[in-house]
Amino acid sequence: MKKLENYVVTIPNFPEEGVMFRDVTSILESAEGLKLSIHELMLRLKDVEFETIAGAESRGFIFGMPLAYNKGKNFIPVRKAGKLPRETVKAEYELEYGTAAIEIHKDSIKPGQRVVFVDDLLATGGTAEAAIKLIESLGGIVVKALFLMELKGLNGREKLKGYDVDCVISYEGK
């Protein structure tokens, strides 16, 4: 079996000059790549005590759901603003050119609940930081932030200082 990095297709100069775009869909398009990605993420949860997994829309759903299923835990979707039907809490965060907002249902996290946050990519850390703030605003305790890939050159870990952050693949640069 190949290493997970072998399933990642890199597109130079996308979406702009100087960026090496790491395409997570190339992992999903391979049965072996998908299986290996879930296996590698599961290994990073081996000794983590938690009650629930929260995943960011949309690729955090793709990777978080099988982890929750395999661990026998529930899954909390962290969605773009306006997509959830019940009462929500919202967090806004900075993007490169503007702001965005995410929400979770107000009753989805219980005080003291130990949560693992999952997403496909740690880049600037804005989405993860906002999601963690939402979880904590409801009394949840984020015990791990887990990502399939990390772009070290964008310094996302800086926004997540004090948290247990883990990534399967780390790339230098952006």
Residues with active-site annotation: 59, 96
Alpha helices in 31-119 (DSSP H): 31-43, 59-71
Task: Provide CB contacts within 8 A for 135, sequence distance 6+.
Answer: 54, 104, 109, 115, 117, 142
Q: Is the peptide bond before 108 cis (omega within 30 degrees of 0)?
A: no
Element (H, E) at 126: helix 126-137
Give CA–CA dist 116/63, Å, rounded: 12
- Residue 82: exposure state from Cβ atoms within 10 A (0-12, 13-18, ≥19): exposed
CA 150 vs. chain centroid, Å, equals 10
- Tokens 């409801």 map to which residue? 138
